[in-house]
């Protein structure tokens, strides 16, 4: 289905901002923008971002662009372009550390590719090319130390899924049942966050001309033939099931663009998660109706946000330190403190001369980093989120 497609200097609180902080706090005015803009030294449109931790993060975008920081974003290094990738659109990236990462391009057929570096992005190796001439990759997601999944749009009526168990060196087509797609339904490569997971479970969101859906993995178990249930050692396989989600649908540009999770242990001791889904209508970014939904049972049942984000949103994330959900899009940033039931808009402070676009024109999150068009990179400033 169709795909949504001068570096800025860093911003810091001025001394005057800090001096006035006490006064402005009385009116819940933040001292700085929610995202401090950083110098990326590129004008590429960025949609891939992965924070590894300890100051290391990787970003990716159009024209074969890959960036890396080792110092928390003070300096973003421009990486070597992978061979033959000068015109590719790198929609997703997953990193292991400061030296090792896999970047995913999105495009029809063999324009969807995976490249891997193990030397800090000086050299790249092509490790996998989409074998489906009509396929289109939407997301890459690393679940464990060396296991990685790639999600693609439906091919022959079912969502494509590929996996690697060796850090991306070798790839197999997944054989799990239950990925059959309803007519005119696909996934979105807007922020590399249409697929996520928690514990042993995987999730991905969809959109299109029918309802929006979230697909999730479950274990399907049955006793061996001829054995009473009580005496059998059950055979279990992983299958996918889907649930309709009350997020905008009905056009090729509408649906679920991003999912995020907050894992927890339920009262019965089973691993579960709060899940937030965001999206809307990409080509009507100001339309706020049905832009978010939430689940409190690991994506089994879904409810519409009571107060949704104030427009289309392309990425959502949960900050476990702040205990806060954050979602971004072209017309702004919203936060939720109640697992996605209600969202509140965050606006830059005109009184403190913050750039009017400090909270808008963003594509993807991997906290504390956010990326957007024309080389925009920001770093979360918790003080700018208000109370």
Asked if 149 and 165 touch (Cβ cutoff 8 Å), the reply is: no
pLDDT value at residue 239: 94
- Angle (CA) 199-106-249 rounded to 5° is 70
Q: Residues 267-281, buried b or exposed e (16+ Cβ, 10 A)? A: eeeeebbbbbbbbbb
**Percent of the chain at pLDDT above 90?**
76
Distance of CA 119 to the CA centre of its chain: 25
- Domains of the chain, each with CATH number or no CATH: 45-174 (2.120.10.10), 176-213+241-387 (no CATH)
Q: Which of 130, 270, 153, 145 lies closest to 204 in space, CA to CA?
A: 153
Percent residues over pLDDT 70 in the chain: 85
Is the pLDDT at 387 greater than 60, yes or no? no
Residue of 270, 137, 258, 143 whose CA lies nearest to 197 = 143
The verdict on whether omega for the bond into residue 368 sits within 30 degrees of 0, i.e. cis, is yes
Q: What is the Cα–Cα distance from 55 to 187, expressed in whole angstroms? A: 31
Q: How confident is the model at residue 23 (pLDDT cuts 50, 70, 90)?
A: very low
Residue 26 CB contacts under 8 Å (≥ 6 apart), including other chains: none
Asked if residue 116 lies in contact with residue 101, where contact means CB atoms within 8 angstroms, the answer is yes
- CB contact set of 310 (below 8 Å; sequence gap of 6+): 288, 291, 331, 332, 334, 343, 345
pLDDT at 291 over 60: yes
Does residue 351 have a pLDDT over 80? no
Which of 76-85, 347-356, 358-367 bottoms out in mean pLDDT, i.e. has the lowest? 347-356
pLDDT band at 14, cuts 50/70/90?
very low
More confident residue, 115 or 200: 115
125, with CB counted inside 10 A (0-12, 13-18, 19+), is middle
Average pLDDT over the chain, rounded to whole? 88
Query: Which phi and psi angles does 382 have, rounded to 5°?
Result: -55, -30
β pairing state of 66-69 and 77-78: antiparallel
Is there a contact between 280 and 311 (Cβ–Cβ < 8 Å)? yes
- Beta carbons within 8 Å of 239's beta carbon, 6+ residues apart: 176, 177, 178, 217, 218, 219, 220
In contact, 30 and 384? CB cutoff 8 Å:
yes
When pLDDT is averaged across residues 236-248 and rounded to a whole number, the result is: 93
Are 49 and 41 contacting, i.e. CB atoms less than 8 angstroms apart?
Answer: no
d(CA 297, CA 318): 16
Mean pLDDT of 249-262: 97
Check whether 75 has a pLDDT greater than 60.
yes
Task: Provide the pLDDT confidence category of residue 211 given band limits of 50, 70 and 90.
Answer: very high
Question: Which residue from 60, 45, 126, 122 is spatially nearest to 94, judged by alpha carbons?
Answer: 60
257 contacts 194 by C-beta, under 8 angstroms: yes
Per-residue pLDDT band for 269 (boundaries 50, 70, 90) equals: confident
3-class secondary structure per residue, 298-348? CCCCCEECCECCCCCCCEEEEECCCCEEEEEECCEEEEECCCCCECEEECC
Q: What is the pLDDT of residue 371?
A: 98
Count the residues in the chain.
Answer: 387
């Amino acid at each position: 289905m169709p795909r949504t497609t001068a570096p800025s200097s860093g911003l810091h609180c001025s001394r005057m901002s800090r001096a006035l902080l006490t006064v402005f706090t009385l009116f819940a005015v933040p001292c700085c923008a929610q995202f401090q803009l950083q110098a990326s030294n590129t004008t590429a449109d960025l949609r891939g971002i992965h924070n590894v931790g300890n100051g290391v993060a990787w970003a990716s975008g159009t024209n074969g662009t890959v960036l890396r920081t080792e110092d928390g974003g003070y300096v973003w290094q421009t990486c070597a372009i992978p061979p033959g990738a000068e015109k590719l659109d790198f929609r997703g990236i997953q990193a292991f550390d400061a030296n090792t990462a896999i970047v995913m391009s999105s495009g029809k057929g063999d324009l969807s590719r995976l490249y891997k570096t193990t030397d800090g992005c000086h050299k790249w190796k092509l490790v996998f090319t989409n074998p489906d001439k009509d396929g289109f990759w939407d997301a890459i997601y690393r679940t464990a130390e060396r296991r990685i999944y790639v999600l693609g749009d439906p091919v022959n009526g079912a969502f494509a899924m590929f996996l690697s168990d060796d850090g991306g060196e070798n790839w197999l087509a997944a054989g799990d049942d239950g990925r059959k797609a309803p007519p005119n339904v696909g996934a979105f490569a807007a922020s590399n966050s249409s697929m996520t997971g928690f514990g042993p479970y995987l999730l991905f969101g969809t959109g299109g001309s029918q309802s929006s859906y979230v697909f999730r993995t479950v274990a399907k178990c049955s006793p061996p033939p001829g054995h009473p249930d009580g005496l059998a050692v059950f055979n279990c396989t992983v299958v996918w099931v889907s649930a309709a989600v009350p997020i905008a649908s009905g056009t090729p540009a509408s649906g679920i663009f991003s999912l995020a999770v907050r894992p927890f242990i339920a009262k019965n001791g089973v691993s579960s998660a709060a899940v937030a889904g965001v999206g809307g209508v990409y080509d009507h970014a100001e339309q706020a109706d049905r832009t978010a939904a939430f689940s409190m049972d690991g994506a089994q049942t879904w409810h519409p946000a009571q107060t949704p984000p104030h427009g289309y949103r392309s990425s959502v994330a949960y900050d476990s330190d702040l205990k806060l959900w954050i979602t971004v899009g072209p017309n702004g940033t919203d936060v939720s403190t109640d697992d996605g039931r209600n969202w509140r808009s965050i606006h830059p402070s005109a009184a403190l001369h913050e750039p009017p676009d400090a909270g808008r024109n963003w594509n993807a999150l991997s906290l504390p980093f956010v990326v957007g068009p024309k080389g925009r990179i920001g770093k979360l400033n918790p003080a700018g989120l208000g109370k």
